[in-house]
A and B are shown apart, each in its own frame.
Chain A
Amino acid sequence: MRDVAIIGIGCTNFGELWDKSFRDIFVEAGVMAIEDAGVQGEEIDAIYLGNMSAGRFIEQEHLASLAADYAGLASINIPSTRVEAACASGGLALRQAVLAVASGYHDIVIAGGAEKMTDVDTDATTDVLAAAADREWEGIMGATFPSIYAMIARLHMHKYGTTSEQLAAVAVKNHYNASMNSRAQYQSPVSIENVLNSSLIADPLHLLDCSPITDGAAAVIVAPAEIAKQYTDTPIHILASTQTSSTIALHDRKDITTLDSTVVAANKAFNTAKLTPGDIDIAEVHDCFTIAEILAIEDIGFFKKGEGGKATEDGLTAIGAEIPVNASGGLKACGHPVGATGIKQAVEIAEQLRGEAGRRQVEGAEIGLIHNVGGSGGTAVIHILST
């Protein structure tokens, strides 16, 4: 197996991009990554594209061909593959690219993620996202996607004393971080009161506990570490790439307040990289809802089970604190174009490790972790990156 590095990154602005189509945004992100890496189109050996549900959002399948075609690469007939694991589709695309390069099968591979969510109305989007859960035994019973995380939140509060204010503290931190990110969907800070006074979606989750509906795309170029320096002075090395699965329905989990897929993916990643949670300087975790960030920082091992809410309230996950989490603003405030999220997380960590994150820069960050979840934890993907 060969060591693999990221040599180029690109990401569109995140938001309601009414004037841009699906093909516009993935080409925009892809070209940014290609220019950043300084590679030529002819050098690209393969494309992996993460996308959750273009079939329902824009009535378009066969995205792999569309991506290669509109990226101007159809003439060289390279393999192009779409991968899907709901909101973890982007993480999967990155992992597929890493495996392809590590194996020696390909050299220069582009891993992209894209989702165009605003071409349908909110009811339709809610229904598409509910397909990340078990349609036949959760969805048909009346479950919405927020309601599934709300049931986790309720039990976490019951078992560990986590409060609505602690959930809100996640949103407040991530909105503040996003205020320093020009790509973010929401660049305005919010207060605890704003979150608690926003309308209830699924009790105890308020509107501002939920990530938004977002259009966006991101791309990274990966290459064998041994040739990465030919393209960039600042290759970002991939120390671990792990992926796990678990039950699709929340009701079948051993512990409803633990994402066992995250626990196992994190343990495997730390073993592979020969690191511990204490070695991580910065993390982008999957905060599709505020409770999801609390679960993530516990299940990855930054904090003990049940202490994630208090740790957040105490400021331990802010930029400059013990373990900065979601400096980009996370899914919560930077936005969550579901298939793009896992790749955007890689772009953020790469920028941070290069020291190019501007006002939200975590000083001296050398090792970063990315955590991407599909559904309520049916899939988890973790990457550990270093300078």
Chain B
Amino acid sequence: MAVSRFWRKLRHRYNLIGTHCTTCNTYYYPPRKMCPQCRRDGRIEECRFKGKGVIVTYTVIHAAPENKAVQTPYVLGIVQLDEGPRLTSQIVCKPDDARIGMRVQSVFRKLGEDSEHGMIYYGTKFIED
């Protein structure tokens, strides 16, 4: 991924910063500049999520393109944050320990790297709370 493309959303990825529509009081992560419910009537402000939530569903990935930062098998899940929005993220746990309904909290982790001399991607993953 281009450096600028990742850098643009660095704060949001590192610190779990999303958006909040004050018109309808809905929270968004990933961040959205247009509220899908209020559209042009929506008033969007940034917000930082607490990073606590629950696993809605998950999978254990056994086959994936090579990524030196993450070895298979790894757990990927959809997490519903306590504030409401759902996001896709890796769950740092043993594959057998993941379960639907598990309480999780966010942690700062390495997501990947382009090559030995390339960009390193950091962001948010989740661990059992």
CA A189 to CA B54, docked complex, whole Å: 41
A151 partner, pick from B5, B6, B76, beta carbons under 8 A: B76
CA A204 to CA B5, docked complex, whole Å: 33
Q: Inside 8 A of B89's CB, which chain A residues have their CB? A: 141
A199 partner, pick from B6, B62, B74, B87, beta carbons under 8 A: B62
The residue on A at minimum CB distance from B9 is A136
Determine if B76 and A141 form an interchain contact, defined as CB atoms under 8 angstroms apart. Answer: yes
Determine if A155 and B57 form an interchain contact, defined as CB atoms under 8 angstroms apart. Answer: yes
Q: Inside 8 A of B58's CB, which chain A residues have their CB? A: 151, 154
Tell me whether A226 is interfacial, beta carbon within 8 Å: no
Interface class of chain B by DSSP: strand
Q: Inside 8 A of B73's CB, which chain A residues have their CB? A: 200, 203
Determine if B65 and A155 form an interchain contact, defined as CB atoms under 8 angstroms apart. Answer: no
Interface string of A206-243 (1 = CB under 8 A from B): 00000000000000000000000000000000000000
Determine if A127 and B65 form an interchain contact, defined as CB atoms under 8 angstroms apart. Answer: yes
Determine if B74 and A154 form an interchain contact, defined as CB atoms under 8 angstroms apart. Answer: no
Q: Inside 8 A of B43's CB, which chain A residues have their CB? A: none
Tell me whether A58 is interfacial, beta carbon within 8 Å: no
Interface string of A241-261 (1 = CB under 8 A from B): 000000001111000100000
Q: Inside 8 A of A205's CB, which chain B residues have their CB? A: 59
- Interface-facing stretch out of A142-150, A275-283, A353-361: A142-150
Instruction: Pick the most buried of A126, A136, A142, A204: most chain B CB atoms within 10 A of its CB.
Output: A142
A123-B65, A202-B61, A256-B57 given; A142·B90 CB < 8 A: yes
Q: Inside 8 A of A142's CB, which chain B residues have their CB? A: 61, 64, 67, 70, 74, 76, 90, 111-112
B49 to chain A, nearest CB (A): 14
Determine if A144 and B64 form an interchain contact, defined as CB atoms under 8 angstroms apart. Answer: yes
Determine if A151 and B100 form an interchain contact, defined as CB atoms under 8 angstroms apart. Answer: no
Q: Inside 8 A of A146's CB, which chain B residues have their CB? A: 63
Determine if B100 and A138 form an interchain contact, defined as CB atoms under 8 angstroms apart. Answer: no
Determine if B61 and A151 form an interchain contact, defined as CB atoms under 8 angstroms apart. Answer: no
Tell me whether A140 is interfacial, beta carbon within 8 Å: yes
Instruction: Pick the most buried of A136, A155, A249: most chain B CB atoms within 10 A of its CB.
Output: A136
The residue on B at minimum CB distance from A199 is B62
A207 to chain B, nearest CB (A): 8
Determine if B111 and A140 form an interchain contact, defined as CB atoms under 8 angstroms apart. Answer: yes
A142-B70, A142-B76, A256-B78 given; A249·B88 CB < 8 A: yes
Tell me whether B47 is interfacial, beta carbon within 8 Å: no
A140-B111, A250-B88 given; A201·B63 CB < 8 A: yes
Measured as residues with beta carbon below 8 angstroms from the partner, the interface class of chain B is 20 to 34
Q: Inside 8 A of B42's CB, which chain A residues have their CB? A: none
Tell me whether A274 is interfacial, beta carbon within 8 Å: no
A141-B76, A251-B87, A251-B88 given; A202·B62 CB < 8 A: yes
The residue on B at minimum CB distance from A125 is B65
Tell me whether B77 is interfacial, beta carbon within 8 Å: yes
Q: Inside 8 A of B87's CB, which chain A residues have their CB? A: 137, 141, 251
Measured as residues with beta carbon below 8 angstroms from the partner, the interface class of chain A is 20 to 34
Determine if A155 and B88 form an interchain contact, defined as CB atoms under 8 angstroms apart. Answer: no
Tell me whether B102 is interfacial, beta carbon within 8 Å: no
Determine if A155 and B61 form an interchain contact, defined as CB atoms under 8 angstroms apart. Answer: no
Instruction: Pick the most buried of B9, B58, B62, B100: most chain A CB atoms within 10 A of its CB.
Output: B62
Determine if B61 and A144 form an interchain contact, defined as CB atoms under 8 angstroms apart. Answer: yes
B59 partner, pick from A123, A124, A127, A151, beta carbons under 8 A: A151
Q: Inside 8 A of B30's CB, which chain A residues have their CB? A: 136-137, 249
Q: Inside 8 A of B5's CB, which chain A residues have their CB? A: 136
Tell me whether A327 is interfacial, beta carbon within 8 Å: no
Q: Inside 8 A of B70's CB, which chain A residues have their CB? A: 142
The residue on A at minimum CB distance from B121 is A140
B64 to chain A, nearest CB (A): 5
CA A287 to CA B13, docked complex, whole Å: 33
CA A256 to CA B86, docked complex, whole Å: 11
The residue on B at minimum CB distance from A154 is B57
Q: Inside 8 A of A127's CB, which chain B residues have their CB? A: 65
Chain B, range 54-107, C-beta contacts under 8 Å to A? 56-67, 70, 73-74, 76-78, 86-90, 95, 100
Closest 3 CB pairs of A and B: A150-B59, A155-B57, A203-B60
Q: Please report A residues at the B interface, Cβ cutoff 8 Å.
A: 123-124, 126-127, 135-138, 140-144, 146-147, 150-155, 158, 199-205, 249-252, 256
A selection of 12 A-B contacts at a CB cut-off of 8 Å is A137-B88, A142-B74, A142-B76, A142-B112, A144-B64, A147-B59, A151-B59, A202-B62, A249-B30, A250-B88, A251-B86, A256-B56
In addition to A140-B112, A142-B64, 5 A-B residue pairs with Cβ atoms within 8 Å of each other are A137-B88, A155-B57, A203-B61, A250-B78, A256-B78
